[in-house]
Amino acid sequence: MNAEPGFEDAQRELEEIVQRLESGQASLDEAIALWERGEELYRLCAAKLDSAQGRIDELARRVEAVKP
């Protein structure tokens, strides 16, 4: 893997992988490679969502603090 993809790109790639696997046309080797890549993309996406949620929570706390 070279440059880390953004969330949307990663998700799109993950979706493509799943569709490819679902079609049943992938060879076993390819399926495993796709699966490994899919898991990697999943971790990436989940991490990005965790990070986004953390920032949102942080921001909400700050807004609450400012409120009278």
Partner 1 sequence: MKVAPIEYGDRKVYTVSGFNRGIADWLTRLPTIWVEGELTDLRRQDRWQSVFFTLKDPADGSCLGVQMPRGQFDSLRLDLTNGERVHVYGRPELFEARGEFRLRALSVERFGLGDHLAALERLKRKLAAEGLFAAERKRPLPRFPRRIGLVTGNDAAAKRDVITSITARFPPARLLVAETYVQGPRAAPAIIAALRELCDAPEVDVIVLARGGGSFEDLLPFSDERLVRAVATCPLPVVSAVGHEQDSPLTDLAADVRASTPTAAARLVVPDLAELLERLARSRAALAGGTRRTLEREQRALAQTHERLRRAPLLLVERRRAALEQTAGRLRALSPRATLERGYAIVRSEGVILRDTEGLSGGDQVDVELGQGGFGARVEETR
- How far apart, in whole angstroms, are the C-alpha atoms of residue 17 and residue 35? 8
Report residue 37 as tokens.
Answer: 């890549």
Q: Is 60 in the site for partner 1 (CB under 8 A)?
A: yes
Q: Is 66 in the site for partner 1 (CB under 8 A)?
A: no
- How far apart, in whole angstroms, are the C-alpha atoms of residue 15 and residue 66? 41
Build a one-symbol-per-residue string for 2-41: x at contacts with partner 1 by CB under 8 A, - elsewhere.
Answer: -----x---x--xx-xx--xx-----xx-xx--x--xx--
| Single-letter code of the amino acid located at 13 | E
Return the H-helix or E-strand segment holding 62.
helix 28-66
> Site residues (CB under 8 A) for partner 1?
7, 11, 14-15, 17-18, 21-22, 28-29, 31-32, 35, 38-39, 42, 45-46, 49, 52-53, 56, 60, 63
